[in-house]
Amino acid sequence: MLPRFFLLSLVLCCAALVRVALGPIGTDEGVRLVLGVPSADIAQLRVLSVVSAALVGAALGLSGLALQVLMRNPLASPFVLGISSGAGFGVACVLVLGALGAFSSRIFFGEAIGAILGAACTLGIVARLGRATDGQDTTALLLAGVILGSMFSAGTMLLEHLVPHGLRGDLLSWMSGRLPEIPNRAQLATLAVVTVLAWIVLARASKALDVSMLSDDEARSSGVALHALRRKLFWTGGVLAGVAVAYAGPIGFVGLVGPHIARRLLGPHHGLLVPGSALAGALLLVSADAVRQVLDLGSGRLPVGVVTALAGGPAFLWLLRRGSGR
């Protein structure tokens, strides 16, 4: 499986180079950048964009893997727990409160804080509902996530009507899932630190994750502290998704499809699946970002979330058709 892992890494590098070559200043100029013709600012911006897409994709891929293992359901994804909708609701709240003058521009915390708070609230509620079932009933967690997601989406739509027209565009753009055109280095660093830490947490638990694929009774009697492992998965998956959504908005299907690509290429062992899911998530988002650079519909570039949804929707249906990948 190791050659396939390196192949995945190589394909990601190629996709990153292609993305660096593509952009609004024209392909020829971009290619010259790849070939070493310097234009420092543009090169830096594009490299940052690639890093940004790769990090968000890796975070979503790892989050999807954590949640799929947690729920023993290969169709689970960060969205199933309602985290994206909760984060969206958080952003809408911040925009409404800002528009109503609840705080001045100097102490305005920003969309990112709102998204993280929204995601954290959703996680807290789902976690509390999960505890009511001793944390063992993944169906209850799943349903709680779906219902909360629907409620927060409805809340966001409600709030959308309360924000001024100028801000409504921002909210809609964020809700479509968009990678910042000019990445914020501090936010990017935060995303990188969280992703790497989560990667380490999951990698250290990879053997226990393998055993947790057995029935609960078998896993426990094999020596796995299942409750602690699931708590770890819940918070790792949730925080990763929350941070990624806070940074780039709700980008669909990367968290679902990334781990599946990794499973197909690398097999079911989490020793390879953990880094594989991060790489596959990164590859998906960098590729989607590259695709949107060449799709010009006359009204600016598409949000990357639209590209992933258009590609990921059929992939989801395909997974559903082949029996949840099992």
Q: Which residues bind other proteins (CB under 8 A)?
A: 72-73, 134, 136, 207-208, 210-211, 213-218, 220-225, 263, 267-269, 326
CA–CA separation, 151 and 127 (whole Å): 17
When the beta carbons of 69 and 115 are compared against other proteins, the nearer one is 69
Q: Rounded to 5 degrees, what are φ and ψ at 296?
A: -115, 110
CB of 255 to other proteins, least distance (A): 18
CA–CA separation, 315 and 64 (whole Å): 15
CB of 197 to other proteins, least distance (A): 24
Judged by DSSP in three states, 301 sits in strand
- Nearest 5 degrees, angle CA 294-CA 7-CA 320? 70
* Residue that the structure tokens 């915390």 belong to: 109
When the beta carbons of 116 and 233 are compared against other proteins, the nearer one is 233
Judged by DSSP in three states, 209 sits in helix
When the beta carbons of 44 and 221 are compared against other proteins, the nearer one is 221
Residues 6+ apart with CB under 8 A from 13: none
When the beta carbons of 87 and 224 are compared against other proteins, the nearer one is 224
When the beta carbons of 218 and 296 are compared against other proteins, the nearer one is 218
CB of 215 to other proteins, least distance (A): 4
CB of 296 to other proteins, least distance (A): 42
- CB of 179 closer than 8 Å to CB of 56: yes
**203 CB burial (10 A radius; 0-12, 13-18, 19+):** middle
CB of 75 to other proteins, least distance (A): 12
CB of 171 to other proteins, least distance (A): 38
Judged by DSSP in three states, 296 sits in strand
DSSP track, 71-92: HT-TT--TTTTTHHHHHHHHHH
CA–CA separation, 79 and 119 (whole Å): 11
CB of 74 to other proteins, least distance (A): 8
When the beta carbons of 27 and 324 are compared against other proteins, the nearer one is 324
When the beta carbons of 98 and 237 are compared against other proteins, the nearer one is 237
- CB of 85 closer than 8 Å to CB of 156: yes
